[in-house]
C-alpha cells in the first residue's frame, strides 16, 4: 500500500500546511582573542555530536575558512584563551513571507584549536613572519572543538560527602544543583537546573557515601551501581542547553508519562527528500517526518543467548541476618527468601537466568538494568531540515512506519543525536546553511 492511502498522509499534509518553519538560517561567528575580535572568511560547518550514553556534554567540531595571517598571528598566539561566539540569523522561507518565524540566537563557547602548528617558529619566510603577506596567500580551513562554557568549568569540580536517610535520586538532584549554583558564569552561560525523570527507587538509604573525587557527571552512575540504584533501566546524565538531564537510558515506556515527546513518521527515503517543512509542534509534542535513510541494528537475540533474559542473585542483607533457621538441630535455608530471580518474556523459546556477576547484592535496580538493553534494538534515522534544540537526552519517542500494508507503531527513546549544520554553497562567499540530524533511537522489541 502506498503512503498516500494511509493515515500517515494526513499528517504529512498537516505538516506541509502548518506554515513556514525556522529552518532557514544564516550561521556566522566571531572569534574573540586577547588581541582583538576576528570574523572568518566563511562559516563552513558545525557538527554537534551528542553521544548521550558516553559523553556528558556536546562534542562540537567547527570548520571555518580563515585568512592565514589571522590564524598564524592571532589565533595561535592566543590558543589558550579563544572564545567563539556563534550566531544564528533566521531568514524567510520565501520572498513572499511577511516576516521570519524565529529569533536571532547567540551562544558562546570555549574554542580549542585542533592544529596548533606555529609557522612563525618553524619557518623564516616572509609569508609566515608578516601577517599581511600571509593573508595574500589565501584563506585556510581551520578546525576547532567548541566546548560549552558551563561544561568547561564543571569538568574541574569534584564531589564528596555523606548523606543520611535520603533517597538516592535526591542526592543526585541536590549535588548537580549545588555544583551549578557555584559556577562563575554570566547569566546567558549559566546552568538553569536539573531535569530529572522520577526515580524508580523511592526508598531512603540510611546513608549514601560519596568518596571525594567523584566528578558531577559520574555521580548518577556511581549511585546507580553502588548505593541502591535509581532506575531499573540504567541511568544517563548529560548537560545540554543549560540543563542537567538525568533519565533512565533504556526505558521505552515513558511516552504517555512525559510532557515533551516526539512522534516520528519514518517515510521511504525516495519520498519528499530534502523537504523544508519536515516537522510541526503540537503543543509540547514534536511531530517529525524522517525522510532520509534509516537502518536498524538488533543485537538483542545474541545478547539473550549469551547473557540470558534473566538474572539471579543473593540478597546481601540476609547473608548476616536471617539467612536460615535451625530446625531440629539442622540449619535450613529457604532459597526463595534469600534470592531474587527475575526475567522478561523471551520470544526465542527458552529462558536463561544466570547468576549475576556481583552474586551477593541488594541493588535490585542495578541488576534489573543489566536486562534492559536486551529488550530492544537500535534504529538510526535521518531528520532533514531539522531543529536540534527540540531533541533532548532520553526524549520519549513513538515511531510510526508502514509494514505489510499496515501502519505500525513502536515506542522508544532518543539514545544519541548528531546535528550537522553545513554550507553547501561552493566558493568563498557563504550562503544559508542546511541543518540535518541523525537520531539513534532505542526502541522496544517489535511484535
171-184 per-position pLDDT tens digit: 999 999 999 999 99
Top-confidence range, 48-62, 79-93, 109-123, 404-418: 48-62
Residue 349: band (very low, low, confident or very high) from pLDDT cuts 50, 70, 90: low
Q: How many percent of the chain have pLDDT more than 90?
A: 54
pTM beyond 0.85: the answer is yes
pLDDT at residue 125 above 60? no
The CA distances from residue 440 to 246, 296, 342, 391, 398, in Å, are: 18, 9, 29, 11, 13
Q: For 42-58, what is the mean pLDDT?
A: 95
User: What are the pLDDT digits (tens) for 304-339?
Assistant: 665 666 666 666 666 667 666 777 777 776 666 666
Provide the β-strand partners of residue 144: 62, 113
The pLDDT score that the predictor gives to residue 251 is 95
Q: Are 442 and 376 in contact (CB under 8 A)?
A: yes
The pLDDT score that the predictor gives to residue 101 is 72
Task: Calculate the average pLDDT of the chain.
Answer: 85
CA angle 290, 388, 283 (to 5 degrees): 80
Q: Are 32 and 83 in contact (CB under 8 A)?
A: yes
Among 303-312, 371-380, 436-445, name the one with the lowest average pLDDT.
303-312
Rg for the chain, CA atoms, rounded: 26
Among 85-99, 153-167, 205-219, name the one with the lowest average pLDDT.
85-99
- CATH code at 156-247: 3.55.50
What are the boundaries of each domain within the chain? 23-152, 156-247, 300-371
pLDDT at residue 121 above 50? no
User: What are the pLDDT digits (tens) for 226-242?
Assistant: 998 999 999 999 999 99
Q: Are 375 and 344 in contact (CB under 8 A)?
A: yes
The pLDDT score that the predictor gives to residue 336 is 60
Among 59-63, 120-124, 235-239, 427-431, name the one with the lowest average pLDDT.
120-124
The pLDDT score that the predictor gives to residue 350 is 66
Among 19-28, 75-84, 303-312, name the one with the lowest average pLDDT.
303-312
Closest CA to 86 of 65, 104, 108, 70: 108
Closest CA to 47 of 58, 32, 57: 58
pLDDT at residue 122 above 60? no
Top-confidence range, 111-115, 132-136, 358-362, 404-408: 111-115
- What is the Cα–Cα distance from 62 to 31, expressed in whole angstroms? 12
- What is the Cα–Cα distance from 439 to 418, expressed in whole angstroms? 7
- What is the Cα–Cα distance from 113 to 422, expressed in whole angstroms? 19
The pLDDT score that the predictor gives to residue 361 is 66
Q: For 22-34, what is the mean pLDDT?
A: 90
**Residue whose C-alpha cell reads 506541509 in the numeric block:** 16
User: What are the pLDDT digits (tens) for 236-265?
Assistant: 999 999 999 999 999 999 999 999 999 999
The CA distances from residue 141 to 59, 74, 354, 410, in Å, are: 19, 15, 54, 43
Closest CA to 271 of 252, 291, 286: 291
Q: For 371-391, what is the mean pLDDT?
A: 90
The pLDDT score that the predictor gives to residue 39 is 93
Q: Which residue would you say has higher pLDDT here, 228 or 98?
A: 228
- What is the Cα–Cα distance from 46 to 413, expressed in whole angstroms? 25
The CATH architecture of the domain made up of 23-152 is Beta Barrel (2.40)
- What is the Cα–Cα distance from 299 to 440, expressed in whole angstroms? 15
Amino acid at each position: 500500500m502506498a503512503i498516500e492511502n494511509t493515515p500517515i498522509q494526513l499528517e504529512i499534509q498537516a505538516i506541509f500546511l502548518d506554515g513556514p518553519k525556522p529552518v532557514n538560517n544564516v550561521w556566522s561567528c566571531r572569534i574573540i582573542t586577547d588581541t582583538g575580535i576576528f570574523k572568518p572568511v566563511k562559516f563552513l560547518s558545525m557538527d554537534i555530536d551528542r553521544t548521550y550514553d558516553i559523553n556528558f556534554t556536546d562534542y562540537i567540531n567547527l570548520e571555518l575558512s580563515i585568512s592565514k595571517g589571522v590564524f598564524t598571528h592571532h589565533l595561535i598566539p592566543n590558543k589558550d584563551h579563544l572564545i567563539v561566539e556563534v550566531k544564528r540569523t533566521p531568514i524567510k522561507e520565501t520572498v513572499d513571507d511577511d516576516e521570519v518565524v524565529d529569533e536571532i540566537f547567540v551562544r558562546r563557547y570555549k574554542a580549542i584549536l585542533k592544529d596548533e602548528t606555529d609557522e612563525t617558529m618553524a619557518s623564516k619566510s616572509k609569508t609566515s613572519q608578516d601577517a599581511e603577506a600571509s593573508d595574500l596567500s589565501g584563506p585556510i580551513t581551520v578546525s576547532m572543538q567548541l566546548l560549552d562554557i558551563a561544561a568547561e568549568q564543571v569538568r574541574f569540580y569534584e564531589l564528596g560527602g555523606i548523606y543520611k536517610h535520603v533517597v538516592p535520586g535526591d542526592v543526585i538532584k541536590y549535588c548537580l544543583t549545588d555544583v551549578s549554583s557555584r559556577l562563575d558564569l554570566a547569566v546567558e552561560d549559566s546552568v538553569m537546573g536539573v531535569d530529572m525523570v522520577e526515580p524508580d527507587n523511592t526508598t531512603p538509604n540510611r546513608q549514601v557515601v560519596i568518596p571525594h573525587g567523584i566528578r558531577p557527571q559520574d555521580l548518577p552512575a556511581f549511585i546507580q551501581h553502588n548505593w541502591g540504584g535509581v532506575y531499573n533501566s540504567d541511568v544517563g546524565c548529560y548537560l545540554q542547553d543549560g540543563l542537567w538531564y538525568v533519565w533512565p537510558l533504556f526505558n521505552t515506556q515513558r511516552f504517555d508519562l512525559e510532557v515533551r515527546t516526539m512522534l516520528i513518521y519514518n517515510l521511504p527515503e525516495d519520498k519528499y527528500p530534502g523537504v523544508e517543512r519536515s516537522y510541526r509542534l503540537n503543543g509540547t509534542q514534536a511531530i517529525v517526518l524522517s525522510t532520509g535513510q534509516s537502518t536498524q541494528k538488533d543485537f538483542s537475540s545474541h545478547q539473550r543467548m549469551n547473557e540470558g533474559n534473566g538474572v539471579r542473585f543473593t540478597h546481601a542483607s540476609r547473608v548476616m541476618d536471617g539467612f536460615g533457621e535451625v530446625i531440629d538441630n539442622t540449619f535450613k535455608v529457604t532459597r526463595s527468601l534469600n534470592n531474587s530471580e527475575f526475567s522478561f518474556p523471551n520470544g526465542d523459546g527458552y529462558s536463561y537466568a544466570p547468576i549475576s556477576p556481583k552474586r551477593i547484592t541488594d541493588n535490585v535496580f542495578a541488576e534489573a538494568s543489566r536486562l534492559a538493553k536486551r529488550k530492544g534494538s537500535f534504529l538510526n534515522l535521518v531528520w532533514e531540515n531539522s531543529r536540534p534544540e527540540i531533541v533532548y537526552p532520553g526524549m520519549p519517542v513513538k515511531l510510526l512506519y508502514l509494514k505489510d500494508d499496515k501502519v505500525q507503531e513502536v515506542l522508544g527513546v532518543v539514545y544519541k543525536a548528531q546535528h550537522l549544520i553545513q554550507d553547501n554553497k561552493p566558493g568563498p562567499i557563504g550562503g544559508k546553511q542546511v541543518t540535518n540530524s541523525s537520531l539513534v533511537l532505542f526502541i522496544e522489541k517489535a511484535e
